[in-house]
Structure 1
Amino acid sequence: MTKLKIAIQKSGRLNEDSLKLLKDCGISIDNGKDQLKASARNFPVEVLYLRNGDIPQYLRDGVVDVAILGENTLVEKGEELEIIERLGFSKCRVSLAVPKEFEYTGIQDLNGKRIATSYPNTVEKYLKEQGITAELHIINGSVEIAPNIGLADAICDIVSSGSTLFKNGLKEAVQMSVSEAVLTAGPNLSADKKAILDTIQFRIQSVLRGQNSKYILLNAPNDKVESIIDILPGMRSPTVLPLAEKGWSSIHTVVLGKSKFWDIIEELKARGAEGILVVPIEKMVL
């Protein structure tokens, strides 16, 4: 039977979130401690646990068919590989950082400086676009220590909260790009494997829609219903049901996206909505 080989990071948060996503898609992985390869019990998938930086080459070579990895790694080592789906977790930024005492005023301050990084291709491309020449020191591992030991004047690394920079006496100078976990595929998938991937992507999209949406139930006087419906974004249109209490209705709808959620809730209250219930959605299938 044809199986789709999926690469995920061997350890760390990207590993945990990737396995959770597969589980949410109904794919049960039998993996033990320190196991480098595992098969799904209920789906034609095999998971390989690999070093993040090695995954792009394995995709090119056909060792694995698809992968969940950080976009920053894809930009650095597999820019020609296609992003199939943005997954919304493991968000970070790729930034240049300098010591706190460095009087940074602009990117021109790094001209002629030494920069330590694990992302030489990313840094080189960015500096070239900015017309800056710098000496790159490639370090595999923790680069934050480089300025403290005199190896570099600045670093380029991924930044989440910025706490690691702070602990090492550094400050973020330039945000070069943002990154998140992405689903990508190798260049030569067979028709059978493409069909399996299409099914997985359909499930992933349903999970992501559910994560970014809320189901809302509320009560409202009948004379306020039209005003309330006017501000409710939904998949089609809200469901309006009469309540046992005369002159009142119950309105049900789905609010898509998180950015304006609280603004909508506050406006609903202002327009007469009462008893508002907000329910998480596990999956949303269109």
Structure 2
Amino acid sequence: MQLVEDITYLVNYLMDERGAGAQHVEPQEDPRWFMEQWEQFRALVNTREPKPASPAFLKVQDRVLQLMVAEPGITEADELPRIASDERLTLWRGDITALRCDAIVNAANSALLGCWIPGHLCIDNAIHTFAGVQLRLKCAQIMQQQGYEEPVGRAKITPGYNLPAKRIIHTVGPMTKGSPTVEQRKQLTQCYLSCLDAAALDGAKSIAFCCISTGVFGFPQQEGAAIATNAAKTWLDTRKPGEPGADMHVIFDVYTEEDEEYYREILGPDAKAGEEAAEE
């Protein structure tokens, strides 16, 4: 009942912010109703301007989001199998918002404020949804201080808020149409290097990469996988013992079976992901 009351409060709070109080919802003990309100909550936060929320709202929001993240199960980065041929690396197919590690990478847009499409299935939307409204506000503060849109290939680091990950590293990848240019390939490489640099400077021991730019940004998946693995290995090879990042655990988190196959082709047959890795 607490969860039902919490989602009712959150939806009504957000509608009141928009002057839509007459549309208040009443709590119902019905799983279908709860999921409808959850989608309503998600749509409202996806389209909410970056601004402070009341302490009462944040307390309830944080409680709900932490429960929603934990309900399917949290994956521990330390328990993921390493690749036998290179134990610095892991290939994993799973939900990056449910991964407990030092840092996860968000494929951001140049505004760095998250996805504004209600319920969109991109990683930017998911990360901002489950981290909470604090994340968009923090990103807005970073961008206001910067004074210009985020360039391709850089990295910004924020707290993870309600995610299991301690930190989120935001990077803007190149957007391609057709075959990527030489410059766009360099930009994608720089995304991975910038994220690794940011993680190391923050003291992270583990970082999980999504497949940067290979979704709606249109970068070819197979080439994107080759760039990702080459950049990470090259960066790791340059670390000296005792230097920040020397013992970094790099996780390639893939979303589709197709992506998984591309990474396996590159990393070798001992690279396992998803259910296969979980069974070991």
Give the TM-score normalised by the residue count of structure 2.
0.23
Which structure's residues are more often strand, by fraction? 1
Please say which structure displays the higher CA radius of gyration.
1
Give the TM-score, by structure 1 length. 0.23
